[in-house]
Structures are given as C-alpha cells and as structure tokens.
Amino acid sequence: MSDGDPQNRRRSQRLRLQVALFLAAELPDGNRLRVQAFTQVVNAHGGLLDAPIRMSVGQRLKLVNPQSGKEAGCRVVRVEAPSDGIFPTTFEFDEQSPDFWPISIRPVDWGVTQGVS
C-alpha cells in the first residue's frame, strides 16, 4: 500500500514507542479490571497496544501513564487475532492527546509547538 492509499492514511504521524500503561476497562459482565499493557505504536490520536485481555470494537477504556500520572479516555477501534494470549488493540483517544506520550520532540503534525515563542 502506498501512503496515498486511504486505508494507510493517518491523522498524525505514527511513532514506534513502547510505553508501559495501565488499562482500565469494564467487561461485558460488569466487572471492572485494571491491567498492564504495552504500546507498540503511538500518535497524537491514539495508538496500538498489546493488551492481555480481549476487548470489543467500540469499547470504552481509560489509559493511565504511571510515569507521568496522565490519564486519557479512549475507545477500541480494532482488535487483531491474539498471539500468546496478547491481543494487539488499536485505540483512539476521546480528544487528541499528544502530551500523553513521553516524547520530547513531537512530529509537526501532532499540533504541539515546542519551545516556540
């Protein structure tokens, strides 16, 4: 696929970044759970993480970055086939959240100015 292909377009540049997060979600049976997950790829609008639980497309969740204490509401966009009990899960922030990620120099299309006066 080329970058011009609509299936491959993103609203903001993706970066490979592994960050340990806490994922809080409510399961279909009403139980709430909090587990550790790790990102594979991130951008200003969400990312892809490895989750130890299967979630459903459209499911609401909250991510917590334990290093910064930042929290962000999200929804599940896609869940891929599991591998070794891990579910690659694509998520989207409720609001663009480039500051959620521990990155000092962000891509220009993330919409954050860095040290510009």
User: Using one digit for the tens of pLDDT, what is the confidence trace for 48-80?
Assistant: 999 999 999 999 999 999 988 999 999 999 999
Provide the domain limits for residue 42. 11-96
Contact 71, 99 (CB under 8 A): no
Q: What is the CATH number of the domain that holds 41?
A: 2.40.10.220
For the cut 90, the answer to whether the pLDDT of residue 30 exceeds it is: no
Residue 66 lies in a domain: yes
Q: What is the pLDDT of the chain when averaged over all its residues? A: 86
Residue 51 lies in a domain: yes
Count of the separate structural domains present in the chain: 1
Residue 5 lies in a domain: no
> Which residues does 32 contact at the CB level (< 8 Å), separation at least 6?
24, 25, 26
Residue 101 lies in a domain: no
For the cut 60, the answer to whether the pLDDT of residue 101 exceeds it is: yes
Question: Confidence band (pLDDT; 50, 70, 90) for 114?
Answer: very low
DSSP 3-state of 4: coil
